[in-house]
Amino acid sequence: MTTTSSPPPPAAAPPGVPVLEARGVTKRFAGVTALSDIDFAVHAGDSMALMGENGAGKSTLIKVLTGVHQPEEGEVVLSGKPVRFGRPLDAQRAGVSTIYQEVNLVPLMSVAHNIYLGREPRRFGLVDERRMNADARALLNEYAIDVDVTAPLRSLALGVQQMVALARAVSINASVVIMDEPTSSLEAREVETLFDVIALLRRRGIAIVYVSHRMDEIYRVCDRVTVLRDGRVVHVGDLHGLSRVELVSMMLGRSVEKVRGGGVTAFGESVATQAEPVLVAGDLTRAHQIEGISLEIRPGEVVGLGGLLGSGRSETLKAMAGVMQLDHGGVVVDGRPVRSGSVPAAIRAGVVMLPEDRKAEGIIPGLSVRDNIVLAALPRLSKAGFSSRRAQDKVVEVFVRRLRIKASSPDQLVSELSGGNQQKVMIARWLAMSPKVLLLDEPTRGIDVGAKAEVQALIDELAHEGLAIVLVSSELEEVVEGSVRVVVLRDGRVETELTGDDVDEPHLLAAIAGRDEEPDAGTTDEEGPR
């Protein structure tokens, strides 16, 4: 029996006919219209971006296209023929594969077993392990995915697991691959591998539907875009020539002025005052994590921390916030030393931190929006040891309105909110403390473009009001567009500092890579396709 390393080409749609369509699709849940008269189409070999804020209808449309939900009106059409997928397995068998943000595979099984799950080659009624492993190895090699096919999936990094999920998707003779935030758990090298695989799939005539909040990825991977807003299609067309400002304006339903770090700000770059530093960090040292880091932060200043994963950015924030006990060095706020390794001492001094993992370290899922906001400020809102509900209500009302937190009421569980609104609740908690210094670790990670725009605009606004801010973000654009200066870290030490005209992506990339030469001009394009 012949062993094949890759599936046969997908069945071709007739010339000019989309390989996958939604025609007049409407979907309702409990009387609420999630999709309204949606027309969507993608052709063989195309890469279509599906854009919109959280709640715009992207996930619902994907679930209709893949058989998770059935539409009340309209139909799904595959290669010109109406189809009805009663379940996702029907869609897969018809050539429509989906890769979700969360890897949906079997952790205890091997890589090869996950790729061919339910389709294992058999010999004399038993799984032919040798052939299956050989097929899996050949398939992965074809897409430059380097992994041991006999290894249990759970032993692999999340990014590698995502690549295995992609290999499984293309092994099922897919004509369409839908990717929902596929790079959320990938390292930079793995992202490049993914993009290479996407290019190869397109050359083979496979259509790609790509969902991501990362604008640079959209411009790099896609050539067309469908924009949803409030469950309706508001734009379909070529992506090239469409600026990021125009694209985000369509998504939000309002005009914006500037795209920054994958989001938008209507305030522009914060201008630091010439005041004395509000926070001085001197010789911050913790064995095997950071060594001799010194920083000064002034009121009204947004200082970015640049560097690779493991460079010491988050550890520096934790040291300043009192989360990490230092071996040497310390933090001074307004001329007064702050006790090392004490979060309460840092908070009393006016230093607060928004952690990277809001679900594990930030929000308390079982509490309401109200309780999450006032949690840290309760001592200040109490009289004679008794909590004042009126004072709490006033604080909550102010910050829900100012940060535009979308909740049915302050008593709604915070776990029921979108990621962007959960992040706003966390910011509100610390703003309620009237801090002097706000430390932000990945403040826009995992939130949609609209919420990202609002968070970034809020950062600018707070800086203009005199708050000192330190920003860590894995998105280089967000760092350079949001900071007046950037301190670059490597191996737990300060490598260099970028100021003035040097605060741009080429200089930051060169500094992170340890290059001293002047970066080439024209290596970035803030408004156009990438």
Q: Could you give the number of structural domains in the chain?
A: 3
Are 420 and 494 members of one domain?
Answer: no
413-435 pLDDT, tens digit each: 998 888 888 889 999 999 988 89
The per-residue pLDDT for 7 is 46
In a domain, 521, yes or no: no
- Domain boundary residue among 230, 261, 292? 261
Q: Are residues 244 and 320 in the same domain?
A: no
Do 326 and 410 lie in a common domain? no
Same domain, 308 and 193: no
The reported pLDDT for the residue numbered 173 is 82
Q: Which domain, by its residues, includes 120?
A: 20-261
CA distance readout (Å), 42 to 77, 107, 209, 353: 11, 33, 8, 44
Q: In this model, does residue 9 exceed pLDDT 50?
A: no
Residue 380, phi then psi, degrees to nearest 5: -75, -20
Residues 428 and 447 grouped into a single domain? no
According to the model, what pLDDT value does residue 244 have? Answer: 80
Residue range 239-252: mean pLDDT, rounded: 84
Tokens of 323: 């989360």
157 lies in a domain?
yes
> Is residue 526 pLDDT above 60, yes or no?
no
Q: Does one domain contain both 498 and 369?
A: no
228 shares its domain with 343: no
Band (385; pLDDT cuts 50, 70, 90): low
Say yes or no to pLDDT of 459 above 70.
Answer: yes
Neighbours of 141 (CB within 10 A): 12
Same domain, 444 and 504: yes
Over residues 265-275, the mean pLDDT reads 43
Q: Are residues 252 and 283 in the same domain?
A: no
State how far the Cα of 474 lies from the Cα of 355, in Å rounded to an integer.
14
Mean predicted lDDT score pLDDT of the chain? 85
Are 317 and 297 in contact, with CB atoms under 8 Å apart? no
pLDDT tens-digit map of 481-503: 889 999 999 899 999 999 988 89
Q: What is the pLDDT of residues 88-143, one digit of tens each?
A: 989 988 999 998 766 678 989 999 999 998 888 998 889 899 999 999 999 998 88
Q: Label each residue of 233-264 as H, E or C.
A: EEEEEECCCCCHHHHHHHHHCCCCCEEECCEE
pLDDT computed for residue 265 by the predictor: 37
What does the pLDDT look like over 174-210, one tens digit per residue? 899 999 888 876 777 778 888 888 998 999 899 999 9
Residue 239 located in a structural domain: yes
Q: How many helices (H) and strands (E) does the chain have?
A: 16, 26
Q: pLDDT at position 528, please?
A: 38
Q: Is residue 525 domain-resident?
A: no
Its pTM stands at: 0.60
Q: Is residue 108 part of a domain?
A: yes
Look at residues 210, 234, 261 and tell me which one is the last residue of a structural domain.
261
Tell me, yes or no, whether 55 lies in a domain.
yes
pLDDT classification of 522: cutoffs 50, 70, 90 = very low
Rounded CA-CA distance 174/204 in Å is 11
**206 phi-psi bin (left φ>0, alpha ψ -120 to 50, beta other):** beta
Q: Are residue 379 and residue 429 in the same domain, yes or no?
A: yes
Residue 12 is assigned to a structural domain of this protein: no
Which pLDDT tens digit goes with each residue over 35-55?
999 999 999 999 999 998 777
Query: Does the pLDDT of residue 10 top 70, yes or no?
Result: no
* Helix ranges, 368-437 (H): 369-374, 389-402, 419-431
Report whether pLDDT(12) > 70. Answer: no
> What pLDDT is stored for residue 84 in this prediction?
94
> Would you state the pLDDT for residue 128?
92
Q: What percentage of residues in the chain have a pLDDT greater than 90?
A: 46
Averaged pLDDT, 246-266: 61
Give the pLDDT of residue 439.
97
pLDDT at 24 over 50: yes
Q: Is residue 11 part of a domain?
A: no
Which range has the worst mean pLDDT, 11-20, 238-247, 248-257, 392-401? 248-257
Domain containing residue 228: CATH number: 3.40.50.300
Same domain flag for 135 and 165: yes
336 and 391 assigned to the same domain: no
CB atoms within 10 A of CB 1: 7
Q: Tell me: the pLDDT tens digits for 54-82? A: 778 998 999 999 999 999 999 999 999 99
Tell me what pLDDT residue 319 has.
Answer: 96
Q: Where are the beta strands (DSSP E) in 136-223?
A: 176-180, 207-211
Last residue of a domain, one of 261, 289, 308: 261
